[in-house]
Amino acid sequence: MTKIDDVARLAGVSTATVSRALRGLPTVSAATRHRVLAAAEQLQYAVSPSASRLAGGRTATVAVIVPRITRWFFATVVEAVEETLHESGYDLLLYNLGGREHTRQRVLRTANLHKRVDAVMLVATPLRRAELAALTVLDLPGVTISSGSGVPGWPCVRIDDVAAARTATRHLLDLGHRRIAHISGDPDDELAFTTHLDRRRGYREALRSAGIEPDPSLDVESQFSIDGGEQATAELLARGEPPTAIFAACDEMAMGAMSAVRDAGLRVPQDVSVIGIDDHDLSRVLGLSTIAQPATEQGRLAARILLDPLGGRDLPPLGGQIVPRPRGTGPAEPSAAPVILPTRLVVRDSTAPPRAD
Amino acid sequence: MTKIDDVARLAGVSTATVSRALRGLPTVSAATRHRVLAAAEQLQYAVSPSASRLAGGRTATVAVIVPRITRWFFATVVEAVEETLHESGYDLLLYNLGGREHTRQRVLRTANLHKRVDAVMLVATPLRRAELAALTVLDLPGVTISSGSGVPGWPCVRIDDVAAARTATRHLLDLGHRRIAHISGDPDDELAFTTHLDRRRGYREALRSAGIEPDPSLDVESQFSIDGGEQATAELLARGEPPTAIFAACDEMAMGAMSAVRDAGLRVPQDVSVIGIDDHDLSRVLGLSTIAQPATEQGRLAARILLDPLGGRDLPPLGGQIVPRPRGTGPAEPSAAPVILPTRLVVRDSTAPPRAD
DNA sequence: CTGAAAGCGCTTACAG
DNA sequence: CTGAAAGCGCTTACAG
């Protein structure tokens, strides 16, 4: 393979000049740059990332850590992040925790991230104390999306989960429901996934605002998945007097709920209304009412916030309609407020007034 | 940060010995290894990947290229690949083509992959001539999953798309359908995505075997997505005499088809039967009949086939029930036959005999 | 089994 | 605007 020396020789300049010209540094004359580019082109020269990283001290790589790439929200976020990162010349190292403890321990360790990436993006993965310490040692920049407890010094992009849950619950209340169940979060969740806690809080707040004391027997914990929603709902329907409406903590659970309601011989929404949070690709097809959250925008915005101080190539300046607050030019302030993106109630066919009996 | 010299000094050995001990090379005495490990532990030493890659000539990184990470099949494959790769100490660089031509040109170029990865995994992305040439120059090992035209010298893991489509169509024929429509693949597909061509072929073969000449007006092209399935079906139902059954090239299209059938005031399966291919997570919930394909197994197997000659760490030997043929110890033979994984007809509620009118 | 030394292929002060 | 030289932090023959 051709190396930088070959290009230097052909262009009749030093390797330092080749390096500068190829990276577009301003301190190269137009004529020289032109010759270097032509030589590199002719020789099909491609820089060695390892050598460049070792000498330059930056990897132009970001670690993106998600709980499960197969879930709608995470896949959608990653798709947006991938595009933004690659546009700016950054590589994306994907880590899928998959609920496996040993994976988590391997990934979120000083040794793994050290010198491997310039920054970390953590999606819906609140850190434990030891993990936080490991990252602190590295002093890496990073950004979190939808993470309960943020990382000190890292910006955070998210929605207001409490408000989203409140809106969903209120929609059911407005329709006249009083027995409103909630299905949510991993009970044995070692991973401290806090999203479902916020959503439960919003659910309870909305009920109390309506003068209803939350009924623990209408609050079932399960997995954040289709199967989880199905199981939780089956359990709910088996317990004495069934609810007239179910607020599921995410659309995938809501889909499982719809399925379980039908399996029990009941109809959605005539017998049981169902609402979720997300606006999953399939929610429209299923007629599922939901609180839409902007997954693509969260991914894109988080990636740009991350890249901004790193100085990505070809990155258009931050600003425009999606950024709700002005940002300084330096690194993010330690206690920067999270960037909250808006959600929106989408009413479809899965919610209706309770039967009048 | 602590470097290899620090560890060497503390352990009282040379850096060469530290390097060998840390990588588990056999030519280190137990006592020395022990001292080195203790020193590394004490200093919290983590090797610099860039330095190691530059000196060692291998990156321990694999590029995984998928059309769209947000689709069920690709997300599921990537999840399995990620686990297998990381278990073996390899990094996963994710590339999501996303149907964007410029992304594709950037990724599948000699310059991008050169020295960045040790191998490439190409999922459902048949290569064009120029791209093939670019990869050939690199002489990189690789593996393809579900790629129409393979890459010479690269093993391929896939299902038999023609047979899967034949089975789906035959299921509809067996139920008594005669007017069977097919909805499939991207018409303006610059990406040469050949999966839909194979599936169409299977559809036509099955019809002909049953003495039915395929009716072009029952064969509609669209996008490989929910929306695509919806549009194609709407179009189909608007054209004169509607079909009594629809075979969709993938489950996502089938879901769109179910939705469109209902939007047209018809019932599934009473008025129109629908079947897809995949066994998407949601297919069970939707009661969608389908041809199940093993996405996780394809990903895992392809990753292991890739890693086998590269010599991944901690990789259990290939073999066991999922590998249908014995493999040599050397690199894959140029003309190795594709590894075909089995599919399975799953009958649910979306297919039934046509109405007798 | 272990070490001294070269070398991997770049980038970065520094000097001019 | 450009070049000579050092250095990034490892691994790998080679020699012992």
> In this structure, is residue B349 part of a structural domain?
no
- The nucleotide whose C1' lies nearest the CA of B31 is C1
What is the per-residue pLDDT for A334?
A: 44
Give SS3 for A66: strand
On chain D, which bases lie within 7 A of the protein's CB atoms? 1-5, 7-13
Res. B337 pLDDT band, cuts 50 70 90 = confident
- Strand C reaches within 7 A of the A27 CB: no
What is the per-residue pLDDT for B187?
A: 61
Q: Which of A19, A37, A55 is the last residue of a domain?
A: A55
What is the per-residue pLDDT for B188?
A: 62
Q: Which DSSP helix (H) or strand (E) runs through A181?
A: strand A180-184
Tokens found for residue B306: 């890739």
Which of B253, B264, B262 has its CA nearest to residue B226?
B253
What is the per-residue pLDDT for A126?
A: 86
> In this structure, is residue B350 part of a structural domain?
no
* A68-126 per-position pLDDT tens digit: 999 999 999 999 999 999 999 999 999 999 878 888 888 888 778 888 999 999 999 88
What is the per-residue pLDDT for A196?
A: 87
- Mode of pairing for the β-strands spanning B119-123 and B142-145: parallel
Query: How many folded domains does chain A comprise?
Result: 3
- Strand C reaches within 7 A of the A132 CB: no
Whether A288 and A276 have beta carbons less than 8 Å apart is answered as yes
Q: Which of A58, A79, A84, A280 best tests the B interface by mutation, with the highest count of B CBs <10 A?
A: A79
Range of the domain at B9: 4-55
* B44-53 per-position pLDDT tens digit: 999 999 999 9
Query: Residue range A228-248: average pLDDT?
Result: 94
- Interface contact A111-B75, CB threshold 8 A: no
What is the per-residue pLDDT for B331?
A: 43
Res. B98 pLDDT band, cuts 50 70 90 = confident
- Work out the mean pLDDT of chain B and round it to a whole number: 88
Instruction: For residues A170 and A203, give the distance between their C-alpha atoms in angstroms, rounded to a whole number.
Output: 8
How long is the CA B165 to C1' D7 vector, in angstroms?
60
Which B positions 26-55 lie with beta carbon below 8 A of chain A?
Answer: 44-46, 48-51, 53-54
> In this structure, is residue A345 part of a structural domain?
no
Res. A209 pLDDT band, cuts 50 70 90 = very high
Tokens found for residue A54: 């070792």
Whether A260 and A230 have beta carbons less than 8 Å apart is answered as yes
- Interface contact A259-B285, CB threshold 8 A: yes
CA A96 to the chain's CA centroid? 12
Question: A270 and A237, same structural domain?
Answer: yes
- Asked if pLDDT for residue A329 goes beyond 50, the answer is no
Number of neighbours of residue A241 by Cβ within 10 angstroms: 8
Question: A276 and A210, same structural domain?
Answer: yes
- Interface contact A106-B86, CB threshold 8 A: yes
Question: B153 and B74, same structural domain?
Answer: yes
- Interface contact A70-B92, CB threshold 8 A: no
Tokens found for residue B213: 């000449």
* A138-187 per-position pLDDT tens digit: 888 999 998 866 788 899 999 999 999 999 999 999 999 999 999 998 76
- Interface contact A82-B68, CB threshold 8 A: no
Query: Residue range A252-260: average pLDDT?
Result: 96
- Asked if pLDDT for residue B60 goes beyond 60, the answer is yes
Question: B299 and B284, same structural domain?
Answer: no
Which comes out higher in pLDDT, residue A336 or A225? A225
- Work out the mean pLDDT of chain A and round it to a whole number: 88
Instruction: For residues B189 and B124, give the distance between their C-alpha atoms in angstroms, rounded to a whole number.
Output: 13
Question: B207 and B309, same structural domain?
Answer: no
Q: Which of A7, A53, A61, A70 best tests the B interface by mutation, with the highest count of B CBs <10 A?
A: A70
What is the per-residue pLDDT for A138?
A: 83
- Asked if pLDDT for residue B74 goes beyond 60, the answer is yes
Question: A170 and A288, same structural domain?
Answer: yes
Question: A124 and A88, same structural domain?
Answer: yes
Question: A305 and A283, same structural domain?
Answer: no
Helical residues (DSSP H) of chain A, grouped into ranges: 4-11, 15-22, 30-43, 49-56, 72-87, 101-107, 110-113, 129-138, 161-174, 195-209, 226-238, 251-263, 283-286, 295-310
Question: A133 and A33, same structural domain?
Answer: no
- Strand C reaches within 7 A of the B107 CB: no
> In this structure, is residue A181 part of a structural domain?
yes
Is residue A78 less than 8 Å (CB to CB) from chain B? yes
> In this structure, is residue B351 part of a structural domain?
no
- Asked if pLDDT for residue A330 goes beyond 70, the answer is no
What is the per-residue pLDDT for A96?
A: 96
Give SS3 for A310: helix
> In this structure, is residue A105 part of a structural domain?
yes
- Asked if pLDDT for residue B115 goes beyond 50, the answer is yes
Contacts of A169 (CB under 8 A, 6+ apart): A180, A182, A202, A203, A206, A207, A247
Which of B299, B280, B295 has its CA nearest to residue B348?
B280
Query: Residue range A176-205: average pLDDT?
Result: 85
- Asked if pLDDT for residue A333 goes beyond 60, the answer is no
Question: B237 and B132, same structural domain?
Answer: no
Instruction: For residues B93 and A60, give the distance between their C-alpha atoms in angstroms, rounded to a whole number.
Output: 12
Question: B313 and B261, same structural domain?
Answer: no
- Interface contact B86-A75, CB threshold 8 A: no
- Asked if pLDDT for residue A4 goes beyond 70, the answer is yes
Instruction: For residues A224 and A184, give the distance between their C-alpha atoms in angstroms, rounded to a whole number.
Output: 7
Which comes out higher in pLDDT, residue B69 or A190? B69
Q: E strands along B132-221, which residues?
A: 142-145, 156-159, 180-184, 219-221
Res. A288 pLDDT band, cuts 50 70 90 = very high
Q: Which of A260, A276, A292 is the last residue of a domain?
A: A292
> In this structure, is residue A94 part of a structural domain?
yes
| CATH number of the domain to which A18 belongs | 1.10.260.40
* B251-296 per-position pLDDT tens digit: 999 999 999 999 999 999 999 999 999 999 999 989 999 999 999 9
Res. A135 pLDDT band, cuts 50 70 90 = confident
Question: B83 and B41, same structural domain?
Answer: no
- Asked if pLDDT for residue A3 goes beyond 80, the answer is yes
pLDDT-wise least confident of A149-163, B182-196, B318-332: B318-332
| CATH number of the domain to which A117 belongs | 3.40.50.2300
Which comes out higher in pLDDT, residue B223 or B356? B223
* A39-70 per-position pLDDT tens digit: 999 999 999 999 999 999 999 999 999 999 99
Number of neighbours of residue B34 by Cβ within 10 angstroms: 13
> In this structure, is residue A353 part of a structural domain?
no
Whether A154 and A142 have beta carbons less than 8 Å apart is answered as yes
Query: Residue range B125-145: average pLDDT?
Result: 87
